[in-house]
Amino acid sequence: MVTLAGHSKWANRVHRKTRQDAKRAKLFAKLSRSLIVITREGGGDPDMNPRLRTLIDSARQAEMPGDRIEYAIKRGLGEVEGKQFEPVRYEGYGPAGVALLVECLTDNNQRTVAQIRNLLKERGGKLGGAGSVTWMFEQKGVITVPKAEADEETVFLAAAEAGAEDVLDEDEEYFEIHTGVRDFHVVLEALRAEGIPTERAELTMVPANNVPVPDDDAPKVLALLDSLQDHEDVQQVFANFEVSDEAMAAYDTN
């Protein structure tokens, strides 16, 4: 049963920021690392490796050159030598008790954990132990559809029939579809079969509950998340918080 529900606006804010920064070399480097690891784990054929297919779509949407995508896949297949990156997840807390999951790809875990620990400490957070906050999140598929390119009824019916869990309609620009992990690619392919364009499609960690952050603490939380996103080893940051529209707007104008 698909329901309409609220959601945190941080994910969409990160999505918009990523789109704005899509031409930066740092973004391409992060995408390259992900392509290498996902190819290594699941093979280089997008038809046989759904995670790779989705990531290639994301890289293309970010305007990553095709030759860089191909090169990263060759690295993952071992056809080209280079650094070996390993996935690692760090858990911790930010200001106002916000729980954080920080997913990285690194060739030196000791270096990366030290840098993430220092970054958290400098901005009012702290690193936690394994399992300290993971239980607060659940892995879900998240797909966003631009409202300017599809109507609500079409999106809702296509997603529901394919097995989506939620269709969210609380963002001004996007419909946001949540799926179970097993149904993610089924729903994504169903939307594409109906000609419904998607801008964000990924397996992500969704918080069970969000922590309301006072406006005075909002800039500290948002600045910490931006700093983590800017770290070259960080692929994704998940957090369980809500801030007011006023606090978000004020931060964005600074």
- Residue 63: the pLDDT is 87
pLDDT(19) > 70: no
146-200: pLDDT as tens digits: 999 999 999 999 999 999 999 988 888 899 999 999 999 999 999 999 999 988 8
CATH number of 13-77: 1.10.10.200
- Residue 66: the pLDDT is 93
49-64: pLDDT as tens digits: 888 988 898 888 888 8
Question: pTM of the prediction?
Answer: 0.80
Contact present, 120 and 224 (Cβ < 8 Å) = yes
60 or 111, which is more confident? 111
Residue 184: both structure tokens together: 């993610």
| Integer-rounded Cα radius of gyration of the chain | 18
Contact present, 100 and 91 (Cβ < 8 Å) = yes
Residue 115: both structure tokens together: 């840098």
Mean pLDDT of 112-140: 95
- Residue 7: the pLDDT is 45
Edge to edge, the sheet with strand 86-93 lists 126-128, 86-93, 99-106, 234-239
Question: Which of 149, 156, 147 has the alpha carbon at shortest distance from 195?
Answer: 149
